[in-house]
Structure 1
Amino acid sequence: MSELTDFPDTDSPHTDGLWQSITLLHAWLEADQPHGGQEGLLLRMLKLQEEVGEVAQAVIGATGQNPRKGTTHTWDDVQSELCDVVITALVALRTLTPDAREVFATHLAGVTARSLGSRRG
Structure 2
Amino acid sequence: MKSSFLSCAVLLAVCSASALANPDAPLKRANGMLVDANGMTVYTFDKDTANSGKSVCVEKCAQNWPAVQAGDGTLAEPYSAITRADGTKQLAYKGKPLYTFVKDKKAGDKEGDKAMNAWHVVTD
Name the TM-score class by shorter chain. Answer: under 0.3
For normalisation by structure 1, the TM-score amounts to 0.25
* Bigger fraction of residues in helix: 1
Higher strand share: 2
